[in-house]
């Protein structure tokens, strides 16, 4: 069965940047075909992705977050857990779960860095949409 709906999960932390991934995604896949879900942060994305994938309504689930070093915990451990969880959600459900989760080595909340990452997330959103379409086509070809 070919799905024409896609789920897009986005973390609320750094929403001014992360929301740009949805903009890029919808430059490729029409907004009318995308259901959007907000979660508090990156750590909540794998559970939401798994739950959405289990519904059987979506051709893929894309998840977007910006995980930065906030000085409280090591952001690389969080980022690794999130990406592993997203992969696990896809493998458990058979629905592609795509990551637009970025972990910059150096991010400062300056106008300059924010502008760079906002544009980068637009591009990553487009890449996720292209990946969603490509994996759907590839999987349909195997019957």
Return the structure tokens found at 74: 């090591």
> In this structure, what token pair is assigned to residue 59?
């051709």
Q: Can 126 be counted among the known catalytic residues? A: no
DSSP 52-90: HHHTT--S-EEEEEE----SSS-HHHHHHHHHHHHHHHH
DSSP single-letter state for residue 13: T
Catalytic residue among 5, 31, 57, 74: 74
Q: Which of 45, 51, 36 is nearest to 95 (CA)?
A: 51
Active centre residues (catalytic) = 74
């Amino acid at each position: 069965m070919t799905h024409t709906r896609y789920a897009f999960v986005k973390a609320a932390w750094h929403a001014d940047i992360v929301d740009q991934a949805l903009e890029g995604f919808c430059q490729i896949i029409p907004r009318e075909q995308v259901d959007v879900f907000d979660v508090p942060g990156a750590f909540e994305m794998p559970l939401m992705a798994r739950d959405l994938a289990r519904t059987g309504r979506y051709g893929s689930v894309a998840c977007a977050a910006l995980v930065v070093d906030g000085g409280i915990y090591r952001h690389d451990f969080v980022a690794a857990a999130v990406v592993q969880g997203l992969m696990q959600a896809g493998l458990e459900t058979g629905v592609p779960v795509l990551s637009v989760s970025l972990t910059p080595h150096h991010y400062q909340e300056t106008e300059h860095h924010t502008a760079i990452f906002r544009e980068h997330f637009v591009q990553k959103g487009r890449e996720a949409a292209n990946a969603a379409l490509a994996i759907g086509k590839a999987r349909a070809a195997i019957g």
